[in-house]
């Protein structure tokens, strides 16, 4: 704590902090890196799902023959394409069953795939929530510890001046600043990505109902043609 007020820098304060506070800062720095990795990764995954789903929904509503969509879209495309493939495959595989059994099979296949997509969209979000909620408290712990050490050090000097108090308090407050730096992006990203994931999930269920309704119309047409 021998810095003058003019010589204080962030790096100097960090390097002069106690080992415990430095450990807190390192944990928060790693938490921040982890949160940014999760933010970029999950944003990329969800954006890809949104892109494929939006384009496929348009093609689905414009298509006269649903079988043609199986050749236009690869089954590995995330989002609605793979949900459609699962439902349409179940529809074709159970043509000999009753209409009710066919629809049950389609609905089951669609719901299973929607559940898998929901699990995929939720990956990493819980860690963002943890980082966003815990980081400020970890930073506060470092601040409290640093200020406590500062006052212990002050008890050993005859006269406390701003020059002796400021460096210790400043280095302690850096821990809180790093905690907020890690928490704020994580909280904002968690809320935003969760909202986008929920919106996508709702669109998947709407599409599932739309697909089932269209397949029912196809079966009705096939039944009417066989009756003739």
Residue-wise DSSP of 177-199: HHHHHHHHHHHHHHHHHHHHHHH
Report which of 108, 53, 118 is spatially closest to residue 79, judged by C-alpha positions: 53
Q: How far is CA 130 from CA 55, 96, 103, 150, in A?
A: 34, 50, 41, 30
pLDDT band at 161 (very low <50, low <70, confident <90, very high): low
pLDDT band at 142 (very low <50, low <70, confident <90, very high): confident
198-217 average pLDDT score: 90
The Cβ of residue 219 has, within 10 Å, a number of other Cβ atoms equal to 15
What is residue 5's predicted lDDT score, i.e. its pLDDT? Answer: 47
**Taking 90 as the threshold, does the pLDDT of residue 98 lie above it?**
no
Residue-wise DSSP of 99-132: HHHHHHHHHHHHHHHHHHHHHHHHTTHHHHHHHH
Report which of 202, 161, 191 is spatially closest to residue 49, judged by C-alpha positions: 202
Range of weakest confidence among 64-68, 80-84, 95-99: 95-99
Domain map of the chain by residue range?
10-61+76-219
State how far the Cα of 114 lies from the Cα of 107, in Å rounded to an integer: 10
Q: What is the pLDDT of residues 163-185, one digit of tens each?
A: 666 666 777 788 888 899 999 99
Q: What tokens were used for 58? A: 């348009």
């Amino acid at each position: 704590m021998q810095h003058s007020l003019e010589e204080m820098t962030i790096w100097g304060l960090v390097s002069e902090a106690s080992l415990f506070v430095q450990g807190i800062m390192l944990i928060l720095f790693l938490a921040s890196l982890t949160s940014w990795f999760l933010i970029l990764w999950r944003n990329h995954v969800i954006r890809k799902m949104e892109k494929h789903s939006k384009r496929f929904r348009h093609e689905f509503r414009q298509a006269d023959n649903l079988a043609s969509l199986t050749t236009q879209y690869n089954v590995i495309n995330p989002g609605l394409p793979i949900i459609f493939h699962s439902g349409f495959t179940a529809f074709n595989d159970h043509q000999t069953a009753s209409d009710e059994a066919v629809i049950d099979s389609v609905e089951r296949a669609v719901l299973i795939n929607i559940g898998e997509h929901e699990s995929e969209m939720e990956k990493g979000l819980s860690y963002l929530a943890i980082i966003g909620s815990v980081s400020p408290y970890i930073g506060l712990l470092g601040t409290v510890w640093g200020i406590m050490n500062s006052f212990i050090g002050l008890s050993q000097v005859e006269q406390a001046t701003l020059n002796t108090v400021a460096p210790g308090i400043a280095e302690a407050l850096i821990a809180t600043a790093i905690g907020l730096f890690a928490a704020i992006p994580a909280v904002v990203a968690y809320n935003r990505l969760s909202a986008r994931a929920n919106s996508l999930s709702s669109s998947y269920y709407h599409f599932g109902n739309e697909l089932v309704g269209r397949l029912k119309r196809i079966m009705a047409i096939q039944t009417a043609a066989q009756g003739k």
